Amino acid sequence: MTTLLSVQDLAVLSGAKSILHPLSFTISPGETVAVTGESGSGKSTLAHALVGLLPDGFKTSGQIIFEGQDLAALSERTFRDLRGRRIAMVFQEPMTALNPIRRIGQQIGDTLRLHNAFSSRDIASHVQALLDRVGLSSVGISAEAYPHALSGGQRQRVLLAMAIACKPALLIADEFTTALDSKTQADVMDLVKDLSVEHGMAVLMISHDLGVIRRHAQRVLILQQGCLVESNETEQLFDWPQHPYTRSLLSMSLHGTGHPPLTHIPVPLDVAEGIQP
C-alpha cells in the first residue's frame, strides 16, 4: 500500500522537557488513523508538530515525510503553501478558529484565494459548491452568514468546507467533535467519512472518544505521557489490547456505556488506579 505520510522517530522538546518521545507511524491515502490517550498525553502536540504549528520554544527531531518531502526541511514559505492545500487541519473550537466579524463565505473564499488562481466569480461559485457539499445550503445557511448566527455543528461544517476547499491529501481533525451533541457528532463524522471516500483523503483523527474511534478509524495509536505505547488495527486493538494502559483506558471507557467490560483481559490495579476516567 502506498504511504502518504511517514513519521519516523518524531520527538518534541520544550526546553529540556520531552513533550513527545520518539514515535513512528505511517498513514496511507484514504485511511483514517486515530490518536487517543488522556489529556496531556501529547495528542494535540503531535497534530501541531505535523503541520508546523508548535508554540515558540518547542523543537522537533526526527522525520515527517509527506508525499516524499521532509516537512522539517521545508522553508516556512513552502510549508505555508503546503498547509491548507495538501494538509488541512480542523480545530476543536470553531469560534476561535473563525473570524467573528467576517462572513463565512469570505473566510472559505480566503482559502481558495490563497492557494488557487481563481477569479472572484469562480471563488463565489466554489464557495457555494462547498456549502452545498457540507450540508449548510440545505438548512438555509448562506455565504453571507456570520459565525455567531450558526450552531456549533454548523460552524464545524464551515471549518470542514475551508479544510476541503483545495481537496487536501491529509485532513488532521483535532478533537473537533468534542463540544457537539451525539447526533451532530455522528452527522459530522459521517460527512468526514464520505469526504474521505470521495477524495481519497486520509484522516488523522485526534480524539478521546473511543466510541467515535471504533466506528470511524481503521487504525489506532495510543499515547501515554508523550509515548506511543500501542498501535494496531482498530478491531484488533479493541478486542485484544496488549499494553496495560490500553486495557485500562478501554475498560474505563466501556464501563457504563452498554458495552461489555473487557473482563477477558486482567487490568493491573496499579494501572487502573493511575488513569483518569
Question: How many C-beta atoms surround the C-beta of residue 121 within 10 A?
Answer: 8
Determine the pLDDT at residue 65.
Answer: 97
* CATH code, domain with 26: 3.40.50.300
Determine the pLDDT at residue 262.
Answer: 39
pLDDT category at 117 given cuts 50, 70, 90 is low
Work out the average pLDDT over 117-135. Answer: 89
Task: Find the helix or strand (DSSP H, E) in which 141 lies.
Answer: none
| Residue 94: CA count within 13 A, CB half-sphere | 25
Determine the pLDDT at residue 254.
Answer: 61
- In whole angstroms, what is the distance from residue 79 CA to residue 155 CA? 26
Is residue 234 assigned to a domain? yes
pLDDT category at 84 given cuts 50, 70, 90 is confident
Is residue 53 assigned to a domain? yes
Residues 14 and 35 grouped into a single domain: yes
Domain housing 216: 1-76+170-179+201-239
C-alpha to C-alpha distances, 196 to 124, 166, 201, 241, nearest whole angstrom: 24, 13, 4, 27
Question: Looking at the chain, how many residues does it have?
Answer: 277
Q: Is beta strand 202-206 parallel, antiparallel or unpaired with respect to 32-36?
A: parallel
